């Protein structure tokens, strides 16, 4: 499982839901992704990606 949020605006660093998921050890979630209107940044366990890269997000499920 990989938590993802899409943000618009200046409050892109506010993502309580992802932080809560990461903090629950039984879920085994190591990091989260936030798409926003800026450049790539990595802070703690969150990767921030420019929103235009959303089109490259791919589902790895096998059918």
Cα separation values, 30 from 16, 38, 43, Å: 15, 23, 13
pLDDT tens string 4-34: 999 988 888 898 999 999 999 999 999 999 9
Per-residue confidence (pLDDT) for residue 20, from 0 to 100? 92
Q: Is 12 helix (H, G, I), strand (E, B) or coil?
A: coil
Distance CA 51, CA 45 (A): 18
Please give the average per-residue pLDDT across 36-40, as a whole number. 94
- Boundaries of domain holding 18: 4-56
Residue 25 falls within a domain, yes or no? Answer: yes
What confidence category does residue 61 fall into, taking pLDDT thresholds of 50, 70 and 90?
low
Task: Identify whether the C-beta of residue 32 lies closer than 8 Å to the C-beta of residue 45.
Answer: yes
Q: What percent of the chain has pLDDT over 90?
A: 67
As for how many domains the chain has, the answer is: 1
Residue 63 falls within a domain, yes or no? Answer: no
Residue 62 falls within a domain, yes or no? Answer: no
Q: Is the pTM of this model over 0.85?
A: no
Distance CA 33, CA 62 (A): 22
Task: Identify whether the C-beta of residue 41 lies closer than 8 Å to the C-beta of residue 48.
Answer: yes
Residue 34 falls within a domain, yes or no? Answer: yes
What confidence category does residue 63 fall into, taking pLDDT thresholds of 50, 70 and 90?
very low
């Amino acid at each position: 499982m990989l938590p993802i949020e899409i943000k618009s605006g200046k409050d892109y660093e506010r993502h309580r839901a992802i932080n809560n998921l990461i903090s629950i050890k039984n879920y085994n979630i190591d990091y989260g992704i936030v798409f926003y209107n800026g450049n790539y940044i990595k802070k703690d366990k969150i990767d921030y990606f420019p929103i235009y890269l959303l089109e490259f997000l791919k589902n790895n499920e096998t059918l």
